[in-house]
């Protein structure tokens, strides 16, 4: 009989250890949930605002890069400059080039036959890539 009682006591202590581990795990999960609930609502709103601002910044930089890329394509295809859409694209590209990526006085100036096309493709192409890189970096810095 004493052996049976000793075995029951061992089984009870093993069950107690298992229950203690389960209780500890449940307590940790409850603490995590409570900490999430107790965080101020303002933190969630700030994160949402920062995320939206990051999206807006990325969109602006992508649109600038798109203007430069399409402008370079328009110049390369020798599109009709009298067309209002072509004029809009070229004016927009001239605006966002910031003088650094200018067709006339940019990073690299070509001379000779087809120099205008080469200047537009290289300078505005580099400008488009620069806008995408800077836009992505700013997006990562602003985003929570």
Is the same domain home to 130 and 95? Answer: yes
Is the same domain home to 24 and 66? Answer: no
Is the same domain home to 15 and 59? Answer: no
Residue 126 CA to residue 134 CA, distance in Å, equals: 12
Q: Specify the pTM.
A: 0.66
pLDDT at 138: 96
Is the same domain home to 5 and 67? Answer: no
Q: Which residue in 60, 23, 53 sits closest to 134, CA to CA?
A: 60
pLDDT at 105: 79
Is the same domain home to 79 and 20? Answer: no
Residue 64 CA to residue 125 CA, distance in Å, equals: 11
The structural domain count of the chain equals 2
Residue 105's alpha-carbon distances to 56, 60, 128, in angstroms, are 30, 25, 17
In which domain, by residue range, is 82 found? 42-142
Q: Which residue in 55, 117, 124 sits closest to 95, CA to CA?
A: 124
pLDDT, mean of residues 18-38:
61
Is the same domain home to 61 and 121? Answer: yes
Is the same domain home to 50 and 106? Answer: yes
Phi, psi of 79 (to 5 degrees): -70, 160
pLDDT, mean of residues 101-113:
80
Is the same domain home to 32 and 103? Answer: no
Alpha carbon 64 to its chain's center: 16
């Amino acid at each position: 009989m004493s052996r049976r009682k000793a075995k029951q006591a061992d089984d009870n202590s093993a069950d107690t250890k298992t229950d203690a581990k389960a209780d500890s795990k449940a307590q940790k999960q409850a603490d995590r949930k409570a900490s999430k609930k107790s965080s101020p609502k303002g933190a969630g709103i700030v994160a949402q605002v920062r995320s939206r601002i990051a999206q807006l910044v990325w969109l602006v930089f992508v649109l600038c890069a798109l203007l430069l890329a399409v402008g370079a394509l328009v110049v390369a295809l020798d599109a009709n400059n009298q067309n209002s859409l072509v004029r809009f694209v070229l004016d927009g590209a001239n605006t966002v080039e910031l003088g650094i990526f200018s067709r006339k006085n940019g990073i690299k100036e070509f001379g000779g036959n087809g120099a205008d096309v080469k200047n537009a493709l290289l300078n505005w192409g580099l400008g488009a890539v620069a806008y995408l890189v800077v836009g992505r970096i700013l997006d990562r810095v602003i985003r929570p």
